[in-house]
Amino acid sequence: MSRTKNGMDMINGSIADKIIKFAIPLAITGILQQVFNAMDVMIVGRYASKNAMAAVGCNAPVIGLMINLFIGISLGANVTIARYIGQVRHKDVKKAVHTAIIIGVISGFLVAFLGLVVSRPLLTLMGVPQEVFPMALIYLRIYLMGMPVILLYNFEAAIFRSCGDTRTPLFCLIIAGTLNVMLNLFFVRILHMDADGVAIATVASNMVSAGIMFVILLRTKSVVRVDFKSFRIDPHIFRVMIRIGVPAGVQAMVFSFSNMIIQSAINSLGADIMAASSAAFNIEIFTYYIVNAFGQACTTFTGQNYGAKKIDRCKKVARYSFMMDLVSTLAMSALIFVFADKLVFLFNEDPAVISYGAIRVRYIMAFYLVNMSIEIISGILRGYGNSLAPAIIAFAGICGTRIAWVYTVFLAHPTFQTLLSCYPISWAVTASILLIYYIFYIKKMRRGFDL
Protein backbone atom coordinates (compact mmCIF):
# COMPACT_ATOMS: atom_id res chain seq x y z
CA MET A 1 0.00 0.00 0.00
CA SER A 2 1.51 3.34 -1.10
CA ARG A 3 -1.01 5.66 0.48
CA THR A 4 -2.05 6.73 3.93
CA LYS A 5 -5.65 6.13 4.97
CA ASN A 6 -6.64 9.53 3.62
CA GLY A 7 -4.26 9.51 0.64
CA MET A 8 -5.12 9.34 -3.06
CA ASP A 9 -3.90 7.99 -6.38
CA MET A 10 -2.56 11.07 -8.18
CA ILE A 11 -1.16 9.37 -11.28
CA ASN A 12 -4.30 7.57 -12.50
CA GLY A 13 -7.92 8.49 -13.14
CA SER A 14 -9.54 11.90 -12.86
CA ILE A 15 -7.56 15.00 -11.90
CA ALA A 16 -9.82 17.97 -11.18
CA ASP A 17 -11.82 16.38 -8.37
CA LYS A 18 -8.64 15.06 -6.74
CA ILE A 19 -7.03 18.50 -6.83
CA ILE A 20 -10.11 19.85 -5.06
CA LYS A 21 -10.01 17.04 -2.46
CA PHE A 22 -6.32 17.79 -1.90
CA ALA A 23 -6.53 21.58 -1.90
CA ILE A 24 -9.65 22.16 0.19
CA PRO A 25 -8.38 20.48 3.39
CA LEU A 26 -5.03 22.18 2.85
CA ALA A 27 -6.68 25.58 2.43
CA ILE A 28 -8.86 24.95 5.49
CA THR A 29 -5.72 23.96 7.41
CA GLY A 30 -4.02 27.22 6.48
CA ILE A 31 -7.14 29.28 7.18
CA LEU A 32 -7.70 27.63 10.56
CA GLN A 33 -4.04 28.06 11.38
CA GLN A 34 -4.42 31.73 10.61
CA VAL A 35 -7.63 31.93 12.63
CA PHE A 36 -5.70 30.60 15.60
CA ASN A 37 -2.81 32.99 14.88
CA ALA A 38 -5.29 35.83 14.53
CA MET A 39 -6.75 34.88 17.90
CA ASP A 40 -3.31 35.61 19.37
CA VAL A 41 -3.47 39.16 18.03
CA MET A 42 -7.18 39.54 18.77
CA ILE A 43 -6.94 38.40 22.39
CA VAL A 44 -3.99 40.64 23.26
CA GLY A 45 -5.61 43.51 21.35
CA ARG A 46 -8.86 43.25 23.28
CA TYR A 47 -7.73 42.01 26.70
CA ALA A 48 -4.17 43.30 27.05
CA SER A 49 -3.22 46.46 25.11
CA LYS A 50 -2.69 48.02 21.70
CA ASN A 51 1.06 47.85 22.27
CA ALA A 52 0.89 44.13 23.02
CA MET A 53 -1.04 43.66 19.80
CA ALA A 54 1.62 45.58 17.88
CA ALA A 55 4.36 43.52 19.60
CA VAL A 56 2.87 40.24 18.37
CA GLY A 57 2.14 41.55 14.88
CA CYS A 58 5.50 43.13 14.16
CA ASN A 59 7.24 39.78 14.74
CA ALA A 60 5.53 38.03 11.81
CA PRO A 61 8.11 39.02 9.15
CA VAL A 62 11.02 38.32 11.53
CA ILE A 63 9.77 34.81 12.29
CA GLY A 64 9.10 34.22 8.62
CA LEU A 65 12.61 35.28 7.69
CA MET A 66 14.10 32.84 10.20
CA ILE A 67 12.05 29.74 9.39
CA ASN A 68 11.02 29.99 5.74
CA LEU A 69 14.27 28.51 4.45
CA PHE A 70 13.57 25.32 6.37
CA ILE A 71 9.89 25.29 5.49
CA GLY A 72 11.10 25.44 1.89
CA ILE A 73 13.26 22.39 2.55
CA SER A 74 10.13 20.63 3.85
CA LEU A 75 8.60 21.40 0.45
CA GLY A 76 11.69 19.78 -1.08
CA ALA A 77 10.90 16.72 1.04
CA ASN A 78 7.32 16.80 -0.24
CA VAL A 79 8.42 16.83 -3.90
CA THR A 80 11.09 14.16 -3.34
CA ILE A 81 8.76 11.74 -1.56
CA ALA A 82 5.96 12.39 -4.08
CA ARG A 83 8.30 11.61 -6.96
CA TYR A 84 9.46 8.36 -5.35
CA ILE A 85 5.82 7.38 -4.77
CA GLY A 86 5.10 8.05 -8.46
CA GLN A 87 8.07 5.87 -9.40
CA VAL A 88 6.94 3.13 -6.94
CA ARG A 89 10.36 3.25 -5.18
CA HIS A 90 9.11 2.36 -1.72
CA LYS A 91 12.54 1.85 -0.17
CA ASP A 92 13.53 5.36 -1.19
CA VAL A 93 10.22 6.70 0.14
CA LYS A 94 11.06 5.20 3.52
CA LYS A 95 14.56 6.67 3.49
CA ALA A 96 13.19 10.08 2.47
CA VAL A 97 10.55 10.09 5.23
CA HIS A 98 13.08 9.40 7.98
CA THR A 99 15.60 11.83 6.50
CA ALA A 100 12.92 14.54 6.41
CA ILE A 101 11.98 14.12 10.09
CA ILE A 102 15.60 14.31 11.22
CA ILE A 103 16.17 17.42 9.12
CA GLY A 104 13.05 19.00 10.62
CA VAL A 105 14.18 18.52 14.21
CA ILE A 106 17.80 19.58 13.59
CA SER A 107 16.61 22.63 11.65
CA GLY A 108 14.37 23.60 14.56
CA PHE A 109 17.22 23.60 17.04
CA LEU A 110 19.42 25.52 14.59
CA VAL A 111 16.77 28.24 14.05
CA ALA A 112 16.14 28.46 17.80
CA PHE A 113 19.82 28.97 18.60
CA LEU A 114 20.54 31.47 15.83
CA GLY A 115 17.26 33.30 16.43
CA LEU A 116 17.91 33.82 20.11
CA VAL A 117 21.29 35.33 19.24
CA VAL A 118 20.03 37.78 16.61
CA SER A 119 16.52 38.53 17.94
CA ARG A 120 17.42 41.81 19.67
CA PRO A 121 19.54 43.17 16.78
CA LEU A 122 16.81 42.29 14.26
CA LEU A 123 14.07 44.07 16.17
CA THR A 124 16.39 47.05 16.68
CA LEU A 125 17.17 47.09 12.95
CA MET A 126 13.43 47.15 12.21
CA GLY A 127 12.99 50.21 14.37
CA VAL A 128 10.41 48.70 16.74
CA PRO A 129 9.26 51.57 19.01
CA GLN A 130 10.53 51.53 22.57
CA GLU A 131 7.07 51.20 24.09
CA VAL A 132 6.58 47.97 22.08
CA PHE A 133 10.15 46.60 22.06
CA PRO A 134 10.27 44.68 25.41
CA MET A 135 7.07 42.75 24.70
CA ALA A 136 8.11 42.10 21.09
CA LEU A 137 11.46 40.72 22.23
CA ILE A 138 10.09 38.34 24.86
CA TYR A 139 7.41 37.11 22.43
CA LEU A 140 10.01 36.39 19.76
CA ARG A 141 12.38 34.60 22.11
CA ILE A 142 9.68 32.33 23.56
CA TYR A 143 8.39 31.57 20.06
CA LEU A 144 11.90 30.67 18.90
CA MET A 145 12.34 28.20 21.75
CA GLY A 146 9.50 26.19 20.23
CA MET A 147 11.13 25.95 16.79
CA PRO A 148 12.06 22.22 17.02
CA VAL A 149 8.40 21.19 17.34
CA ILE A 150 7.14 23.89 14.94
CA LEU A 151 9.43 22.73 12.13
CA LEU A 152 8.84 19.07 12.98
CA TYR A 153 5.13 19.69 12.39
CA ASN A 154 5.86 21.28 9.00
CA PHE A 155 8.01 18.36 7.85
CA GLU A 156 5.44 15.84 9.08
CA ALA A 157 2.70 17.70 7.20
CA ALA A 158 4.88 17.63 4.05
CA ILE A 159 5.17 13.84 4.39
CA PHE A 160 1.39 13.42 4.53
CA ARG A 161 0.86 15.82 1.60
CA SER A 162 3.33 13.90 -0.56
CA CYS A 163 0.93 10.95 -0.72
CA GLY A 164 -2.19 13.09 -1.07
CA ASP A 165 -3.26 13.17 2.58
CA THR A 166 -4.14 16.73 3.58
CA ARG A 167 -6.84 15.72 6.08
CA THR A 168 -4.57 14.30 8.80
CA PRO A 169 -2.66 17.60 9.25
CA LEU A 170 -6.03 19.37 9.36
CA PHE A 171 -7.28 17.04 12.10
CA CYS A 172 -4.15 17.65 14.18
CA LEU A 173 -4.36 21.40 13.66
CA ILE A 174 -7.96 21.58 14.87
CA ILE A 175 -6.98 19.89 18.14
CA ALA A 176 -3.85 21.99 18.64
CA GLY A 177 -5.51 25.24 17.55
CA THR A 178 -8.40 24.81 19.95
CA LEU A 179 -5.89 24.24 22.74
CA ASN A 180 -4.01 27.37 21.61
CA VAL A 181 -7.11 29.57 21.97
CA MET A 182 -7.92 28.14 25.39
CA LEU A 183 -4.35 28.72 26.60
CA ASN A 184 -4.38 32.26 25.17
CA LEU A 185 -7.44 33.12 27.19
CA PHE A 186 -6.01 31.46 30.29
CA PHE A 187 -2.67 33.28 30.15
CA VAL A 188 -3.99 36.70 29.07
CA ARG A 189 -7.36 36.99 30.84
CA ILE A 190 -6.76 34.94 33.99
CA LEU A 191 -3.01 35.30 34.58
CA HIS A 192 -2.95 38.85 33.09
CA MET A 193 0.01 38.14 30.84
CA ASP A 194 0.36 39.81 27.43
CA ALA A 195 2.57 38.88 24.45
CA ASP A 196 4.58 36.37 26.49
CA GLY A 197 1.44 34.39 27.37
CA VAL A 198 0.42 34.21 23.72
CA ALA A 199 3.89 32.92 22.77
CA ILE A 200 3.79 30.19 25.43
CA ALA A 201 0.35 29.09 24.20
CA THR A 202 1.63 28.90 20.61
CA VAL A 203 4.61 26.74 21.51
CA ALA A 204 2.52 24.39 23.67
CA SER A 205 -0.10 23.86 20.95
CA ASN A 206 2.54 23.18 18.29
CA MET A 207 4.08 20.60 20.58
CA VAL A 208 0.73 18.81 20.74
CA SER A 209 0.15 18.86 16.96
CA ALA A 210 3.67 17.62 16.18
CA GLY A 211 3.29 14.85 18.77
CA ILE A 212 -0.05 13.64 17.41
CA MET A 213 1.25 13.51 13.84
CA PHE A 214 4.36 11.62 14.90
CA VAL A 215 2.22 8.98 16.63
CA ILE A 216 0.10 8.63 13.48
CA LEU A 217 3.24 8.15 11.38
CA LEU A 218 4.39 5.45 13.80
CA ARG A 219 1.07 3.57 13.51
CA THR A 220 0.16 3.97 9.82
CA LYS A 221 0.39 0.90 7.57
CA SER A 222 1.31 2.95 4.50
CA VAL A 223 4.63 3.42 2.78
CA VAL A 224 5.32 6.59 4.81
CA ARG A 225 5.33 4.69 8.10
CA VAL A 226 8.02 5.69 10.60
CA ASP A 227 10.00 3.35 12.82
CA PHE A 228 12.78 4.27 15.22
CA LYS A 229 15.30 1.80 13.78
CA SER A 230 15.27 3.55 10.40
CA PHE A 231 16.17 7.03 11.61
CA ARG A 232 19.20 8.11 9.62
CA ILE A 233 19.99 10.74 7.01
CA ASP A 234 20.44 9.32 3.53
CA PRO A 235 23.13 11.51 1.88
CA HIS A 236 21.78 11.25 -1.68
CA ILE A 237 18.17 11.95 -0.68
CA PHE A 238 19.31 14.79 1.55
CA ARG A 239 21.05 16.41 -1.43
CA VAL A 240 17.91 16.04 -3.57
CA MET A 241 15.75 17.64 -0.87
CA ILE A 242 18.24 20.48 -0.50
CA ARG A 243 18.46 21.03 -4.26
CA ILE A 244 14.69 21.39 -4.54
CA GLY A 245 13.93 22.82 -1.12
CA VAL A 246 16.56 25.50 -0.61
CA PRO A 247 15.54 27.61 -3.63
CA ALA A 248 11.90 27.32 -2.52
CA GLY A 249 12.95 28.37 0.98
CA VAL A 250 14.99 31.25 -0.37
CA GLN A 251 11.95 32.37 -2.37
CA ALA A 252 9.87 32.38 0.83
CA MET A 253 12.67 34.17 2.69
CA VAL A 254 12.71 36.83 -0.01
CA PHE A 255 9.07 37.59 0.75
CA SER A 256 9.81 37.68 4.47
CA PHE A 257 12.89 39.84 4.06
CA SER A 258 11.03 42.34 1.91
CA ASN A 259 8.13 42.27 4.39
CA MET A 260 10.60 42.97 7.19
CA ILE A 261 11.81 46.03 5.28
CA ILE A 262 8.19 47.11 4.84
CA GLN A 263 7.51 46.43 8.53
CA SER A 264 10.38 48.74 9.47
CA ALA A 265 8.73 51.42 7.33
CA ILE A 266 5.37 50.71 9.00
CA ASN A 267 7.03 51.03 12.41
CA SER A 268 8.13 54.55 11.47
CA LEU A 269 4.48 55.55 10.99
CA GLY A 270 3.48 54.93 14.62
CA ALA A 271 1.67 52.43 16.87
CA ASP A 272 -1.78 52.97 15.27
CA ILE A 273 -0.58 51.92 11.83
CA MET A 274 1.50 49.12 13.36
CA ALA A 275 -1.59 47.71 15.07
CA ALA A 276 -3.72 48.27 11.95
CA SER A 277 -1.22 46.47 9.73
CA SER A 278 -1.03 43.62 12.20
CA ALA A 279 -4.81 43.19 12.05
CA ALA A 280 -4.91 43.62 8.27
CA PHE A 281 -2.18 41.05 7.71
CA ASN A 282 -4.11 38.50 9.76
CA ILE A 283 -7.12 39.10 7.50
CA GLU A 284 -5.35 39.25 4.13
CA ILE A 285 -3.53 36.00 4.67
CA PHE A 286 -6.78 34.03 4.54
CA THR A 287 -6.73 34.58 0.79
CA TYR A 288 -3.09 33.57 0.63
CA TYR A 289 -3.83 30.17 2.12
CA ILE A 290 -6.34 29.45 -0.64
CA VAL A 291 -3.80 30.53 -3.24
CA ASN A 292 -1.07 28.50 -1.55
CA ALA A 293 -3.24 25.37 -1.32
CA PHE A 294 -3.63 25.17 -5.08
CA GLY A 295 0.05 26.04 -5.51
CA GLN A 296 1.01 23.10 -3.30
CA ALA A 297 -1.48 20.91 -5.15
CA CYS A 298 0.38 21.83 -8.35
CA THR A 299 3.69 20.89 -6.76
CA THR A 300 2.57 17.54 -5.34
CA PHE A 301 0.47 16.36 -8.30
CA THR A 302 3.13 17.47 -10.78
CA GLY A 303 5.84 15.79 -8.69
CA GLN A 304 4.10 12.40 -8.67
CA ASN A 305 3.09 12.51 -12.34
CA TYR A 306 6.48 13.75 -13.46
CA GLY A 307 8.03 10.88 -11.49
CA ALA A 308 5.70 8.52 -13.37
CA LYS A 309 6.69 10.24 -16.66
CA LYS A 310 3.10 11.36 -17.33
CA ILE A 311 3.80 14.80 -18.78
CA ASP A 312 0.32 15.22 -20.29
CA ARG A 313 -1.23 14.86 -16.82
CA CYS A 314 1.21 17.47 -15.51
CA LYS A 315 -0.15 19.95 -18.06
CA LYS A 316 -3.73 19.17 -17.01
CA VAL A 317 -2.76 19.67 -13.37
CA ALA A 318 -1.48 23.16 -14.24
CA ARG A 319 -4.64 24.08 -16.15
CA TYR A 320 -7.13 22.79 -13.58
CA SER A 321 -5.23 24.26 -10.63
CA PHE A 322 -5.07 27.70 -12.21
CA MET A 323 -8.78 27.83 -13.04
CA MET A 324 -9.93 26.59 -9.63
CA ASP A 325 -7.53 28.91 -7.83
CA LEU A 326 -8.76 31.84 -9.91
CA VAL A 327 -12.39 31.30 -8.93
CA SER A 328 -11.58 30.66 -5.25
CA THR A 329 -9.29 33.69 -4.95
CA LEU A 330 -11.83 36.00 -6.60
CA ALA A 331 -14.54 34.88 -4.19
CA MET A 332 -12.43 35.23 -1.04
CA SER A 333 -10.90 38.57 -2.10
CA ALA A 334 -14.33 40.04 -2.83
CA LEU A 335 -15.71 38.86 0.51
CA ILE A 336 -12.83 40.33 2.50
CA PHE A 337 -12.91 43.58 0.48
CA VAL A 338 -16.58 44.19 1.26
CA PHE A 339 -16.36 43.43 4.99
CA ALA A 340 -12.91 44.94 5.65
CA ASP A 341 -14.03 47.41 8.34
CA LYS A 342 -15.99 44.83 10.30
CA LEU A 343 -13.13 42.32 10.13
CA VAL A 344 -10.58 44.83 11.45
CA PHE A 345 -13.03 45.77 14.23
CA LEU A 346 -12.77 42.19 15.53
CA PHE A 347 -9.14 42.89 16.39
CA ASN A 348 -9.37 46.35 17.86
CA GLU A 349 -12.12 48.96 18.45
CA ASP A 350 -9.85 51.99 18.06
CA PRO A 351 -11.25 54.10 15.15
CA ALA A 352 -7.78 54.91 13.80
CA VAL A 353 -6.77 51.25 13.78
CA ILE A 354 -10.00 50.29 11.99
CA SER A 355 -9.58 53.03 9.38
CA TYR A 356 -5.94 52.26 8.54
CA GLY A 357 -6.54 48.50 8.67
CA ALA A 358 -9.46 48.67 6.23
CA ILE A 359 -7.41 50.80 3.82
CA ARG A 360 -4.65 48.21 3.75
CA VAL A 361 -7.00 45.22 3.44
CA ARG A 362 -8.88 46.70 0.47
CA TYR A 363 -5.70 47.80 -1.27
CA ILE A 364 -4.14 44.34 -1.05
CA MET A 365 -7.30 42.42 -1.97
CA ALA A 366 -7.82 44.52 -5.10
CA PHE A 367 -4.60 43.11 -6.61
CA TYR A 368 -4.40 39.62 -5.11
CA LEU A 369 -5.03 37.77 -8.37
CA VAL A 370 -1.57 38.86 -9.50
CA ASN A 371 -0.01 37.18 -6.48
CA MET A 372 -2.07 34.06 -7.23
CA SER A 373 -0.39 33.64 -10.62
CA ILE A 374 3.03 33.76 -8.94
CA GLU A 375 2.11 30.94 -6.57
CA ILE A 376 0.64 28.69 -9.27
CA ILE A 377 3.52 29.07 -11.73
CA SER A 378 6.10 28.60 -8.97
CA GLY A 379 4.24 25.51 -7.75
CA ILE A 380 4.26 23.92 -11.19
CA LEU A 381 7.96 24.57 -11.71
CA ARG A 382 8.84 23.14 -8.28
CA GLY A 383 6.85 20.00 -9.13
CA TYR A 384 9.16 19.50 -12.10
CA GLY A 385 12.09 19.86 -9.71
CA ASN A 386 12.94 23.40 -10.85
CA SER A 387 13.00 25.57 -7.73
CA LEU A 388 15.96 27.76 -8.56
CA ALA A 389 14.41 29.89 -11.31
CA PRO A 390 11.29 30.92 -9.32
CA ALA A 391 13.54 31.79 -6.37
CA ILE A 392 15.80 34.01 -8.46
CA ILE A 393 12.86 35.71 -10.14
CA ALA A 394 11.16 36.29 -6.79
CA PHE A 395 14.36 37.74 -5.37
CA ALA A 396 14.66 40.22 -8.22
CA GLY A 397 10.99 41.02 -8.62
CA ILE A 398 9.66 40.96 -5.06
CA CYS A 399 12.60 41.84 -2.88
CA GLY A 400 14.33 44.16 -5.34
CA THR A 401 11.23 46.15 -6.18
CA ARG A 402 10.03 46.51 -2.59
CA ILE A 403 13.40 47.54 -1.16
CA ALA A 404 13.91 50.04 -3.97
CA TRP A 405 10.41 51.43 -3.39
CA VAL A 406 10.86 51.84 0.37
CA TYR A 407 14.20 53.61 0.06
CA THR A 408 13.22 55.87 -2.84
CA VAL A 409 9.51 56.57 -3.35
CA PHE A 410 8.41 56.01 0.26
CA LEU A 411 11.38 57.97 1.58
CA ALA A 412 10.30 60.93 -0.56
CA HIS A 413 6.59 60.52 0.29
CA PRO A 414 6.35 58.71 3.67
CA THR A 415 2.63 57.94 3.76
CA PHE A 416 0.77 54.69 4.41
CA GLN A 417 -0.80 54.68 0.94
CA THR A 418 2.58 55.19 -0.74
CA LEU A 419 4.01 52.26 1.19
CA LEU A 420 1.13 49.95 0.26
CA SER A 421 1.73 50.59 -3.44
CA CYS A 422 4.87 48.46 -3.35
CA TYR A 423 2.77 45.28 -3.00
CA PRO A 424 0.90 45.30 -6.33
CA ILE A 425 3.86 46.78 -8.19
CA SER A 426 6.26 44.08 -6.98
CA TRP A 427 3.70 41.35 -7.73
CA ALA A 428 3.17 42.64 -11.26
CA VAL A 429 6.91 42.78 -12.00
CA THR A 430 7.48 39.27 -10.63
CA ALA A 431 4.46 37.70 -12.31
CA SER A 432 5.44 39.14 -15.70
CA ILE A 433 9.00 37.80 -15.54
CA LEU A 434 7.86 34.44 -14.16
CA LEU A 435 5.25 34.00 -16.91
CA ILE A 436 7.82 34.69 -19.63
CA TYR A 437 10.18 32.14 -18.07
CA TYR A 438 7.40 29.56 -17.72
CA ILE A 439 6.43 29.87 -21.41
CA PHE A 440 10.07 29.38 -22.37
CA TYR A 441 10.37 26.39 -20.02
CA ILE A 442 7.28 24.64 -21.42
CA LYS A 443 8.47 25.18 -24.99
CA LYS A 444 11.80 23.66 -24.03
CA MET A 445 9.98 20.64 -22.58
CA ARG A 446 7.94 20.16 -25.74
CA ARG A 447 11.10 20.11 -27.81
CA GLY A 448 12.23 17.09 -25.87
CA PHE A 449 14.82 18.65 -23.59
CA ASP A 450 15.55 17.01 -20.27
CA LEU A 451 13.69 18.90 -17.53
Q: Is 223 exposed, middle or buried (0-12, 13-18, 19+ CB in 10 A)?
A: buried
Neighbour count for residue 141 (Cβ, 10 Å) = 16
- DSSP secondary structure letter of residue 410: I
In Å, what is the CA distance from 334 to each residue of 196, 254, 329, 375? 35, 27, 8, 19
Of 1, 310, 303, nearest in space to 162 by CA: 303
Secondary structure (DSSP) of 254-314: HHHHHHHHHHHHHHTT-HHHHHHHHHHHHHHHHHHHHHHHHHHHHHHHHHHHHHTT-HHHH
Which residues fall within 8 angstroms of residue 412, CB to CB, at 6 or more apart? none
Instruction: Judge contact between 253 and 128, C-beta under 8 A.
Output: no
Q: What is the pLDDT of residue 330?
A: 92
448 sits in the region (left: phi over 0; alpha: psi -120 to 50; else beta) called: left
CA distance 169 to 29: 7
Of 352, 205, 372, 350, nearest in space to 288 by CA: 372
Q: What is the pLDDT of residue 2?
A: 42
The pTM is what? 0.72
CA distance 290 to 175: 21
Q: What is the pLDDT of residue 6?
A: 52
Q: What is the pLDDT of residue 48?
A: 66
The pLDDT tens digits along the chain (451 residues) read: 344 455 567 778 888 888 888 888 888 887 887 777 777 777 777 676 777 777 777 777 777 777 777 877 887 888 888 888 877 888 888 999 999 999 989 989 988 888 888 888 888 877 777 887 888 888 888 988 999 998 999 899 989 888 878 888 888 888 988 898 899 888 888 888 878 888 899 899 989 999 999 999 998 888 888 888 888 998 998 998 888 888 878 777 777 777 778 888 888 888 788 888 888 888 888 888 888 888 888 888 888 788 778 888 888 888 888 899 899 999 999 999 999 999 988 887 888 889 999 999 999 999 999 989 998 998 888 888 787 888 889 888 888 899 899 999 999 999 998 999 999 999 999 999 999 999 888 877 766 544 4
Q: What is the pLDDT of residue 449?
A: 45
